[in-house]
Structure 1
Amino acid sequence: MPDLTSSSRTSSSEKLSGDSKFRLSPLRRFNPLSEIEFVPSNVPRYRRLQTFAVAMWALLIPICMAVFYLFCSIPALWPFLVLYCIFIAFDGAPEHGGRSSQWVRSMRIWRYFVEYYPATLKKETDLPPDRPYVFGYHPHGIIGMGALATFATEGTGFSQQFPGISPHLLTLTSNFRIPFYREIIMMMGICSVSKRSCVNVLRQGKGSAICIVIGGAAESLAARPGTADLTLRKRLGFIKIAMQQGADLVPVFSFGENDIYEQMSNEKGTVVYTIQKKFQAILGFTFPLFHGRGLLNYNFGLMPHRRAIVTVVGRPISVQQHDKPTMDMIAEVQERYIEELLRIWNTYKDSYARHRKQELRIIE
């Protein structure tokens, strides 16, 4: 199989008219009722494999649920399924670091996954593996594909760039109630985002690390191409945990995260915004109304657009360990954290955010 990172592939991909238009104009607006741009028949095999990898991840939950219900239709499997459901109910692995497998994290499918966008990792400095770390990931985006590519797989080469660091991307606890899906994401090193989980992972020793996508549901509603509106001022929990566990804070900014999906207008006062906020109040999360591309077209569907994602891992912020840090102490660390995040933006915005519509803003 030819080298996936060769420049010849990049040049050949630019000849594909539909996809190249999005590469050259990543903020282009589209009216799905008047224009559909179909994928040409001569797409190279390696690009089909990249699309397949992203599609498989997007469909992983429905696939796992379909397999589970298929097994439920076979009476001979019922005793095993009952035991498995009991196991799910009492399994504490999502709160204790999961069951990470380097083999799963290094599977070839993740190379195709990251090369689809492509997603890359840029390291600013070494992180010595003699302490725990809390990575704060920004922006949240619609789904957080850059966080997945960087911290839940080896597709971008995290272990090569940060040897000795064991990253654990954190997600909603509800994801670990989905049969089979939970086992896959735990093998990728993904754990629950609960406070208990954070503490347990950081206490595993030197080099243990968690990655939290900070903005949450509120920030996902503000995710639009060309913007970087962060929900950060009121997010103090991850800083408090870092101080209590004596973990260094590492700001991470992912350029392009907000560009891979388009979102319906949901400004304050609109019906869409009101419905989304009600969902958020009831369920703790919300459903952004978005679209990307499809498997057979370039401009409408639930697949993300092929737009570059560059994840910049900034300089660590050392904190002193305090069992009960005061609000003033937390606020002081937060200011240092925000200053480092702004430094990352100002350093790389002209290289990786050339199509931006506005500067980075901290809106809450």
Structure 2
Amino acid sequence: MDLHHPKPLGASARSLSAGSLRDRLSKLTPLNPVADALRVNVEFVPAKIPRKRRLQMLTVAIWSSILVISAFLFLYLCSYPALWPFLAVYHLWVVYVDKSPENGGRISRRFRSLRVWKYFAEYYPVSLVKECELPADRPYVFGYHPHGIIGMGAIATFATEACGFSQAFPGIVPHLLTLASNFTIPIYRDIILALGICSVSKKSCSNILKNGPGSGIIIVVGGAAESLSARPGTADLTLRKRLGFIKIAIQNGAALVPVFSFGENDIYQQMPNEPGTTVHKMQKKFQSIFGFTLPLFHGRGLLNYNLGLMPYRRRIVVVIGHPIPTVKCAQPKLEDVMEVQRRYIAELERIWHTYKDQFAKSRTRELRLIE
């Protein structure tokens, strides 16, 4: 055998070798799997969509980015020297004068009733289920569950009249509460104040409830910690260690009203961040420093149905349960607080079991109290 001069391959052998090479290459991982996945999985919006649906999508898109829009608009105004005196006065007024976030806000019924909020609620859509009458002869503390990624159902139900809250519960003035840091953002703060949104500080809660009968505050009880557990098909609540809102209710003689939002966790997908992972540890560290956290989530986009930061169109049903009366006490004992919490949790679980087969058909597990 001549090792230095191998015989040339015939036509059939070359064909076989080429075919074998193609088979092997076809089994290799693509060089750009992300791009290939996007080409295969992204579902684009059709060209022809009813005008109403476009308005709904536009409204949600603007609200989803309103904080960033407000900040950039303020910076843009700062680029005009002629406006500096006015902006300086505005800044001083926000920092040193305006105490509205802790005193009930500057709620505007006309602003809350604008047609644009109807488009916002109809996008998902968000609807309200009223289980019983809430007489306006006492103050109320509404506990909203779950937090979800952003809490769009809470905004539609309690910060606007899109779901008809004032018609369902006449005489009750709702104030959705959020972090005080949101009121440091120019323009954005004035928008949410007009919606009746206020600071979630203890002082703010007490000031609003001291207005007497008919005053109401809505606290998204789980907060930032619960947002890290928000995933479609689940209802993992951070509740057992949350006693502050119960103490506030007792101190002001307010009735506690559990509220469960079916579908709140379904409007976004969250990246894996199981407890113990590096991502989860970083998120908890961020929360301990800044008071809030940043879930790694995604939804849909303006031009597609499955890639972007807009929420998915998935139904949200907000069920407002039966009130739990409290006896006013300036310094409630721990056992009294725990007893009210027990009744509160029992009512919340009743809501879940009553409506889960109707509004949570795609659930992957039952309601859980994880903390």
Q: Which residue of 2 aligns with 1:4?
A: none
1: CA distance, partners of 2:188 / 2:310: 19
**Contact persistence 1:49–1:112 (CA under 8 A):** yes
The alignment of Structure 1 onto Structure 2 pairs a total of residues equal to 334
Pair 1:219 & 2:226 matched: yes
What is the distance in 1 between the residues matched to 2:290 and 2:72?
Answer: 24
Question: What residue number does 2:53 align with?
Answer: 47
Which of 112, 136, 157 is the equivalent residue of 1:150? 157
Tell me the equivalent position of 1:159.
Answer: 166
Q: Residue 11 of structure 2 aligns with which residue?
A: none
Cα distance, 1:65 vs structure 2 = 1.1
Residue 345 (structure 1) aligns with: 352
1:330 aligns with 2:337: yes
**Following TM superposition, where does structure 1 have runs of at least 4 consecutive aligned residues deviating by more than 6 angstroms?**
none
Matches for 1:74-93 after TM superposition, within 5 Å: 74-90=80-96, 91-93=98-100
- Write out per-residue CA displacement over residues 49-69 of structure 1, whole angstroms, 9 at most, x where no aligned residue: 000110110111111111111
Q: Give the drift of 1:32.
A: 4.9
Render the CA deviation track for 1:42-92: whole Å, top value 9, x for unaligned.
Answer: 111000000011011011111111111111111111011110000010211
Secondary structure of residue in 2 paired with 1:167: strand
Residue 167 (structure 1) shift: 0.1
Distance 1:312 1:32, change over 3 A: farther
CA distance, structure 2, for counterparts of residue 230 and residue 34 of structure 1: 35
Structure 1 residue 284 displacement after superposition: 1.3
> Is the Cα–Cα contact under 8 Å of residues 293 and 302 in structure 1 kept in the other structure?
yes
Choose from 247, 251, 259 the match for 1:252.
Answer: 259
Q: Distance in 1 between matches of 2:38 and 2:166?
A: 41
Deviations 1:97-139 (A, max 9, x none): 0000000100000000000000000000000001000000000
Equivalent position to 1:183, from 170, 183, 190? 190
- TM-score, with length taken from structure 1: 0.91
Distance 2:234 2:44 in 1: 28
Q: Tell me which of 99, 108, 117 is aligned to 1:110.
A: 117
Quickly say closer, same or farther: Cα 1:333–1:116, change in 2 above 3 A.
same
User: What letter corresponds to residue 126 of structure 1 in structure 2?
Assistant: E
**TM-score, normalised relative to structure 2:** 0.89
* Counterpart secondary structure, 1:311: strand
Cα offset for 1:269?
A: 2.2
In terms of mean alpha carbon deviation, does 351-360 or 262-271 score higher?
A: 262-271
Cα contact 1:101–1:189 (8 A) shared by 2: yes
Equivalent residue letter for 2:331: K
Q: Distance in 1 between matches of 2:225 and 2:192?
A: 24
The worse-fitting range, judged by mean Cα deviation, of 328-337 and 268-277 is 268-277
SS of the counterpart of 2:319? strand
Contact 1:32 1:299 (C-alpha < 8 Å) held by counterparts: no
Q: What is the aligned partner in structure 1 of residue 29 from structure 2?
A: none
CA distance in 1, matches of 2:72, 2:222: 31
Indicate whether 1:278 and 2:276 are aligned.
no
**Is the Cα–Cα contact under 8 Å of residues 255 and 311 in structure 1 kept in the other structure?**
yes
Shift of 1:34: 4.5
Question: Structure 2: which 5+ residue stretches go unaligned?
Answer: 1-36
CA RMSD, 1 decimal:
0.8
Matching residue of 2:312: 305
Q: Percent identity?
A: 65
